[in-house]
Amino acid sequence: DSGVTQTPKHLITATGQRVTLRCSPRSGDLSVYWYQQSLDQGLQFLIHYYNGEERAKGNILERFSAQQFPDLHSELNLSSLELGDSALYFCASSAGTGTGGYEQYFGPGTRLTVT
């Protein structure tokens, strides 16, 4: 158990819908990262938050957005869903500020299926 929790574990929804994935980091970790793992794109970095501040964006679609709340949990919002958005979405957290290559602890992931 990494100490990072993600809900829900599984999500099945239809094209065009909107979903919210939730992540609670390990106690004390201020950095939260979101990654997408799909069959054709592999593991891709989406976005990094540090203590509520957006630090970096990767290949995140405009239909996707995220935020980190004052209690440090984070949410990833996916809208106007397409079949190609079906993937495993990981949240990770670390004790780092974004500079030191700290270990990232991964949650169990949310499996999103768009039908």
Site for other proteins, rule CB under 8 A: 2, 31, 33, 35, 42-45, 48, 55-56, 58, 88, 90, 92, 94, 96, 98-106, 108-109
Q: Could you give the C-alpha distances from 99 to 21, 44, 66, 79, 84, in angstroms and in order?
A: 26, 19, 21, 31, 32
d(CA 83, CA 115): 6
CB 90, min distance to other proteins, A: 6
Closest separation between CB of residue 44 and other proteins, Å?
8
Report in angstroms how near the CB of residue 82 gets to other proteins at its nearest.
Answer: 22
Question: Angle at Cα 28 formed by Cα 46 and Cα 65, nearest 5°?
Answer: 25
- Closer of 85 and 94 to other proteins (Cβ): 94
